[in-house]
Amino acid sequence: MPATRDIKRRIRSVRSTKKITRAMELVAAAKMRKAVTKVLATRTYSDLAWGTVLHLAKKLNAEHHLFFQEPKKVKKVGIILVSTNRGLCGSFNTQLVNKVVQSINIHHPEKVETEIITMGLKGRLESRRRKLNIVADFPKDDITTSSEKISSSAHLVVQNFLAKKYDKVFIAYTDFVSSLRQAPHVMQLLPIVPTIDERLAHTVHEKKEDINDINVDSFSDFIFEPDMKQILDAFLPRLVEIQIYQAVLESEASEHSARMFAMRNASDAASDMIESLTLAYNQARQASITAEIAEIAAGSAALN
């Protein structure tokens, strides 16, 4: 029966697709667990480093270091775009690039030149499709293991900022709020604005932490060893590096959760499809049996 055979073939193909998506879901779940433990471990460090900067910024004037100085006129902006290497993670990268385009429109509506530095293949392709100005691309590992891996990109933006090539540097990444929710986010890296960004998941979670509540005003000035300039020169670039590292880890945790859910949705959709196809198959089979019986009955009736 041609009809039933076609349906049967469809069912078989959907079933094997489901097997694949199911396997990918499990792989993504395992990777997500790994990425989430890493991102949580690093949050303490980056929060404490950020806390130190907040304390320092309260005590120092902005003119003490170039990194604190708000440019008078913003002419050129650099954006680091942290995306994924692989697809099949829903609208993850599209949303992120949307957010970047949005922030370009909001932050500098007057013609400000924006340069994009991409990390990850999919973000690069998407940005190119949107005709954004890509100037550099750094390869991204699927699981970033240490902060040394991103030091080259950190070095690039810091150098460009110090050379006054960029007046502001942003980083666009997907913040990991929970395994169910990831929020694309554009954060200012340079110059350093010493305020707590409430929108970020981890600062909201850990706001109770005593670190930000310490009232520095009551203290005498900081002592710097060997001296302030050397400390700031060493510490602030390191902070930028840590922030990029943290963003990359957040993005990885988000990527794997997004992929896990995309794959779970695909598996569920495949199940639904198999169900309705099976129903159609059974109906077709039943119809053909009925037709056959009717034919036999008609045949025997004709003989009599």
Residue 147 C-beta: closest distance to other proteins, Å = 5
266 closest CA partner among 86, 16, 97, 32: 16
Give Cα 133 distance to the centre of its chain.
20
Residues 198-217 as x/- pattern, contact with other proteins by CB under 8 A = ------------xx--x-x-
Catalytic: which of 89, 132, 189, 244?
A: 89
212 among known catalytic residues: no
71 closest CA partner among 188, 190, 160: 190
Instruction: Note whether 51 binds other proteins by CB under 8 A.
Output: yes
Q: What are phi and psi of 183, to 5 degrees?
A: -120, 120
Taking the least distance from each CB to other proteins, the nearer of 159 and 290 is 159
200 closest CA partner among 255, 254, 236, 137: 254
Neighbours of 253 (CB within 10 A): 26
Residues paired with residue 81 on neighbouring β-strands, in sequence order:
118, 172
Residue from 7, 21, 28, 42 binding other proteins (CB under 8 A): 42
Instruction: Note whether 52 binds other proteins by CB under 8 A.
Output: yes
Residues 95/123, Cβ–Cβ less than 8 Å: no
Residue from 2, 109, 226, 299 binding other proteins (CB under 8 A): 226
Give Cα 164 distance to the centre of its chain.
29
Residue from 26, 41, 193, 293 binding other proteins (CB under 8 A): 41
Instruction: Note whether 220 binds other proteins by CB under 8 A.
Output: yes
Taking the least distance from each CB to other proteins, the nearer of 105 and 220 is 220
Taking CA 142 as the corner, what is the angle to CA 239 and CA 145, rounded to the nearest 5 degrees?
A: 45
Taking the least distance from each CB to other proteins, the nearer of 216 and 296 is 216
Residue 41 C-beta: closest distance to other proteins, Å = 5
**Beta carbons within 8 Å of 228's beta carbon, 6+ residues apart:** 60, 64
Provide the b/e sequence for 153-172 (b: ≥16 CB within 10 Å).
bbebbbebbeeeebbbbbbb
Q: Which stretch binds other proteins (CB under 8 A): 42-50, 66-74, 92-100, 130-138?
A: 42-50
Residues 58-77 as x/- pattern, contact with other proteins by CB under 8 A = -x------------------
Taking the least distance from each CB to other proteins, the nearer of 162 and 214 is 214
- Annotated catalytic sites, by residue? 89
The site for other proteins (CB under 8 A) is made up of 38, 41-42, 44-46, 48-49, 51-52, 55-56, 59, 146-147, 210-211, 214, 216, 219-226, 230-231, 234-235, 238, 242, 245
